Amino acid sequence: MSNDDEIRPFRLDTPEEAIADMRRRIAATRWPTRELVTDRSQGVQLATVQELARYWTTDHDWRAFEAKLNALPQYTTDIDGVEIHFIHVRSQHEKALPLIMTHGWPGSVAELLGVIGPLTDPTAHGGRAEDAFHLVLPSLPGYGFSGEPTELGWENGRIARAWAELMNRLGYPRYVAQGGDVGAAVTDAMGRQGPEGLLGIHVNLLAGAIGIKDQLPAESEQERAAHDALNTFTTDGFGYFLEQTTRPQTIGYSLLDSPVGLAAWMLDHDTDSYYKISRAFVDGEPVGGLTRDSIVDNVTLYWLTGTGASAARWYWEFGRFLAAASAAGQAPPAVSVPVGFTTFPGEIWAAPRSWVETVYPDLAYFNEVDSGGHFAAWEEPDLFATEVRAAFRPLQKS
């Protein structure tokens, strides 16, 4: 890895003019007419986005979120030509296990804030001292407060190598890794690279299922339901994925020009999370951590950092990498560390154990829980933390 090893403190101080400009743009939105259906089959519903916009300009307090972030230890460091932002919270428990967690799209470090307390201070959240973690939460390259890559090649493998370098710079000779969504793909790459010091990984999305769906079991009712969900995604929920995998620059112009356009694009991710988020705004009934404030915090972070296009480019890199590997007939190397997996019922495709074992034959931990969806750490932080503790408990003692 190139660049010096300096780690610099980071503090967020948003210019007031940037906030005022955002609000002016929201107020100047040209609205489409209402959708002609009663569900989300034509996209994000007008009532949902208009209520989000109203809340954004009248009730949301960005400064409160800014203060929440600034209350946490934040840093930046240059790795392989990109400035990487990360939150680093050390546990008070001396024998805590270092854990690097990676967010996804359309998320950010904002989606992981709810698990900081349960993971770093388990005794205050129903856990044991020996379940504690030192937590490292990096912003993906091109996301949030990290810099944008200025050259091609920042796919999962390169990010995984950067994360290994980050943990090395922080002085952690042994650690574990966790991720969902994009973070699951990066964490999977870390497990396959097996950098020195990595003890194990935990993921909550079977990210590779799309590419091998013809190889996944379809005998049981649960397996057939998972196939149905995966097929639904690839035929009727694939819009954002296809656009960002093929033309991220094109959608990027809209994402950096219209706050409301950005918000709608981010909400149109998956059916389960969309209806939960819609319920928070339209009905005033949030589900777990998916509150109006936390949702708008995350969208505002994307807007103020101007990362709509650069974040979308990860999908382009991902798609090109998979296509090249497929054309070359290259199978990925085996994962070289223990793997834990948790299936949350509201996930885009809730992977059965048989599917997970197809991808990870030496699966070390598996559990299916009763609540939570794609944004599991955000929606159900306590349940999510319980799963992370359980998956890594054997490694805590190693």
Return d(Cα 168, Cα 28) in angstroms, integer.
Answer: 47
Name the β-bridge partners of 367. 342
Continuous H helices in 210-258: 221-236, 239-246, 248-257
Sign for the CA dihedral angle at 17, 19, 24, 29 comes to: positive
Other Cβ atoms within 10 Å of 24 Cβ, number: 11
- 341: tokens are 């997996």
Active centre residues (catalytic) = 181, 315, 374
Which of 305, 304, 312, 307 has the alpha carbon at shortest distance from 249?
Answer: 312
Q: Are the C-beta atoms of 273 and 373 separated by less than 8 Å?
A: yes
What is residue 265's three-state secondary structure? helix
Name the β-bridge partners of 31. none
Other Cβ atoms within 10 Å of 368 Cβ, number: 14
Return d(Cα 262, Cα 301) in angstroms, integer.
Answer: 11
Return d(Cα 372, Cα 388) in angstroms, integer.
Answer: 14
